[in-house]
């Protein structure tokens, strides 16, 4: 099957190997005359990144790469200053979730006069923004995990409180996304594994979130099938473009589906990432089976249907067994100790988890006791169903 197509779901997507060559044309079509190329320090010096920047030389491109792996507010402030100083009129966000999120929030904040935290994803706070000041974004993912390339938000850590916050506005959606799986070929196996499990977590939590959204459920289920059939291959044979392409599609599907909701996997991963600077996808992967066990009584029937679709035998236990075996196959630690996370801040993490905006989507209402229970399960490797 040829993995080359143009989609309009949920934004304009140009999908296929080699399509990063269309970057300059995409910028021109979006009316961007002076793009700010936002990436992370690790990518900035790579040949593929230099080639992408070089393709934009005729457009007065500038480069910004002062981004942490768990981006913080000062990264956004520095990027906005560069954008304004260079009179840039749009952003090319090139990289993994950190670069994509920061690039989108820089473009969003370019014309805003209020503090960034006034636009946190709470109620209708997004209506406080001046939509005329939002610069257009072209997104080019180089990992297959967050799906930020098809999302309307960015996750930024508030440094004063060490809290991850979601900044949201409908116009933060990139106007065009280039999904070129060839850009992911050089990813190390452990990053391929962690980002792939992030995509799986997005699909899984969206599917399990309560509420009626059959469109999201359908996208999530097929996204999980793609992960099942391609992630281990992408980890073991990084040059397999078909596996890489299917994982890139699954990542976009996860972010498309999770408009329905997320849950305790993310609610607990966010504070741990902010406090311990762990990789977000890897943290999600560690928590996954423990959150499944915690939520079992609320999701057992749904998971059985999912398992049947995925060819796993049609039971909760079969699906849980698949998750555990996949994690083992691709090198995911079984407990939080593998992330160098201890129990010293367990109480604080539980308290932070229940106020995280993703907590509300958990199938079982998450309180401090429940969040602490899941944390302890993940710390000690306890998979007993509660």
Residue with tokens 């998450």: 366
Give pLDDT tens digits for 222-241.
999 999 999 999 999 999 99
Higher pLDDT among residues 386 and 180, named by residue: 180
The three-point CA angle 146-24-148 to 5° equals 10
- pLDDT greater than 80 at residue 132: yes
86-120 pLDDT, tens per residue? 999 999 999 999 999 999 999 999 999 999 999 99
Question: 375 and 268 in contact (C-beta within 8 Å)?
Answer: yes
Alpha-carbon torsion (208, 353, 343, 269), positive or negative:
positive
DSSP reduced 3-state for 79: helix
Q: Which residue, among 254, 262, 278, has the nearest Cα to 335 in the 3D structure?
A: 278
Express each pLDDT in 343-374 by its tens digit.
999 999 999 999 999 999 999 999 999 999 99
* Rounded distance between C-alpha atoms, residue 118 and residue 321, angstroms: 43
- pTM (two decimals): 0.96
Beta bridge partners of 165: 156
- What pLDDT sits at residue 1? 61
Query: Per CATH, the architecture of 5-183 is what?
Result: 3-Layer(aba) Sandwich (3.40)
Does the pLDDT value for residue 60 go beyond 80? yes
Mean pLDDT of the chain: 97
**DSSP notation for 319-343:** HHHHHHHHHHHHT--SSGGGGT--S
Domain ranges of the chain: 5-183, 190-380
CB 101 within 8 A of CB 154: yes
Which CATH superfamily groups domain 190-380?
Answer: Dehydroquinate synthase-like - alpha domain (1.20.1090.10)
Three-class DSSP category at 313: coil
Provide the token pair at 176: 């065009």
CA dihedral 316, 279, 52, 86 (to 10 degrees): 130
CA distance linking residue 30 with residue 11, whole number of Å: 13
């Amino acid at each position: 099957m040829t993995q080359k197509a143009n989609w309009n779901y949920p934004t304009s997507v140009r999908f296929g190997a080699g399509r990063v060559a269309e970057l300059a044309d995409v910028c021109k079509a979006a009316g961007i005359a002076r793009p700010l190329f936002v990436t992370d320090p690790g990518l900035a010096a790579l040949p593929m990144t230099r080639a992408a920047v070089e393709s934009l030389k005729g457009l007065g491109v500038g480069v910004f790469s002062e981004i942490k792996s768990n981006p913080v507010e000062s990264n956004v402030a520095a990027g906005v200053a560069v954008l304004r100083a260079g009179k840039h009129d749009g952003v090319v966000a090139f990289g993994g979730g950190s670069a994509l999120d920061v690039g989108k929030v820089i473009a969003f904040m370019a014309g805003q006069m209020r503090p960034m935290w006034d636009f946190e994803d709470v109620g209708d706070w997004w209506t406080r923004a001046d939509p005329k000041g939002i610069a257009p974004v072209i997104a080019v993912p180089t990992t297959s995990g967050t799906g930020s390339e098809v999302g309307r938000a960015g996750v930024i850590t508030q440094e004063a409180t060490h809290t991850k916050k979601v900044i949201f506005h409908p116009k933060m959606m990139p106007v065009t996304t280039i999904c070129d799986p060839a850009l992911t070929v050089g990813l190390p196996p452990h990053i391929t594994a962690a980002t792939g499990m992030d995509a799986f977590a997005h699909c899984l939590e969206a599917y399990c979130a309560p509420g009626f959204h059959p469109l999201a459920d359908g996208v999530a289920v097929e996204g999980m099938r793609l992960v099942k059939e391609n992630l281990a291959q992408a980890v073991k044979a990084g040059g397999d473009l078909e596996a890489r392409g299917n994982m890139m599609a699954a990542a976009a599907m996860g972010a498309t589906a999770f408009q329905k909701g997320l849950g305790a996997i993310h609610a607990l991963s966010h504070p741990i990432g902010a406090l311990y600077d762990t990789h977000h996808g890897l943290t999600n992967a560690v928590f996954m089976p423990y959150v499944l066990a915690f939520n079992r009584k609320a999701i057992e029937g749904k998971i059985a249907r999912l398992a049947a679709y995925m060819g796993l035998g049609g039971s909760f236990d079969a699906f849980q067994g698949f998750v555990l075996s996949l994690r083992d196959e691709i090198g995911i630690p079984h407990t939080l100790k593998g992330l160098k996370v201890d129990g010293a801040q367990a109480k604080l993490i539980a308290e932070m988890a229940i106020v995280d905006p993703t907590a509300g989507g958990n199938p079982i209402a998450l309180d401090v006791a429940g969040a602490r229970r899941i944390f302890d399960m993940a710390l000690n490797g306890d998979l007993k169903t509660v």
